[in-house]
Amino acid sequence: MPTKKLREFLDDQGIKYVTISHPVAYTAQEIASVTHISRKEMAKTVIVKIDNALAMAVLPASYEVDLSLLRAAAGARTISLAKEAEFKDRFPECDIGAMPPFGNLYEMAVYVDESLAKDKDIAFNAGSHNELLQVSYADFERLVKPTVLKFACLPDVESLGAWHL
């Protein structure tokens, strides 16, 4: 079941969503594979620190955050990946790594990569490692009001190793 906070928010806003249960999986790419959801529609949430403020970078499962692109696009002085200890208390209902991309519920700015913004629907972790929610991107954008920027890139194939090919 989605986190109570998220479910109540979506219900209060009259948003249609689909709950998708799946075997326990920890990476967005694994989840996309077991749920048969396109990797470009499977959104992952990466917690970053932009000028010392926590924020969410939301991008397709098969992409990586390019911190230098995000720093430049956001007009920030500094940027880094946040450490778990810096944000885990912000998401008391969520498993670490399964935070939904609703920064508005957690007092965080949300940055969405422009490639994800082109999708009709998006799916994302609903607070656990065995459940997703799928909503229309238009509803997500209307509720969250993310800043849409270009900051995602495909991973370097050489760094992945041959087993990914």
Backbone angles phi, psi at 2, to 5 degrees: -60, 160
The structural domains of the chain, with segments of one domain joined by +, span: 4-151
Specify the fold of 4-151: YbaK protein (3.90.960)
pLDDT score, position 4: 83
> Helix, strand, or coil here: 112?
strand
- What is the C-alpha separation between 18 and 73, in angstroms, rounded? 32
pLDDT-flagged residues of the chain (< 70): 1-2, 23, 32, 36, 38-39, 157-165
- Per-residue pLDDT tens digits for 41-86: 789 999 999 999 999 999 998 899 999 999 999 999 999 999 999 9
- What is d(CA 127, CA 136) in angstroms, rounded to the nearest whole number? 18
